[in-house]
Structure 1
Amino acid sequence: MLIVSVILTAIVAIEHVYILILEMFLWTGPRARKAFGTDKAFAEATQSLAANQGLYNGFLAAGLLWGLVHPDASTGHQIQLFFLGCVLVAAVYGGFTAKRSILLVQGLPAFIALIAVLLT
């Protein structure tokens, strides 16, 4: 189960690195506009807000990666639990205030990874 929890946590971290890239660097481009359902005018008007959001997603990814590589397994386990919980809370909030698909795209992987980490 340890390998499964590591893989699932890494997937959540990679997903948040991808979101960071979309929000910080590609926000006004077609890929990010399609992913987030925005038009060019909105994307340009909200570029600095999106970059800020991207930075926070980067912090979530960094925390998850930190938990995976921490030299003390017990501490790394606790770090993973904390950051997966943060992702899950953010996904629930985003799912109810922005787009329901956030629950599936971000919340479900985080929930599955959290269960796997809890079972290790």
Structure 2
Amino acid sequence: MKYLALLAYEPTVWDEASEETRQAYHQAHLDFHKAVAERATLLAGEALADVDAATTMRHVDGQVALTDGPFAETVEQIGGFYLVDAPDLDVMTDLCALLPTAYAIEIRPVVTIEGFES
């Protein structure tokens, strides 16, 4: 089953982190990648630009309306994601537990919609 892991964090966490802590964050991602290679399949994963680079699109009165910034105002922001094909949620949660503890990680199963299978 495919799972999307959204990685949320408070923006100040990285800025205020020591070099040692930043190295630990990087190592956690490397450990995650290694474990995924052993237990699942990494389909995609990327870091995202800060929310000040975001553009939100809405449809208002039949017209496209673009605004600068994120969809919602929150303390945390989505800083990246992983898309993983894992045997089950237990494996996915084990894998995500390897990521930096500064993250709030939202794990969602990917839904297959008939006629839109890849």
Task: State if a TM-score over 0.5 links the two structures.
Answer: no
Greater strand proportion: 2
Q: TM-score, normalised by structure 1?
A: 0.34
Greater helix proportion: 1
Q: Bigger radius of gyration, 1 or 2?
A: 2
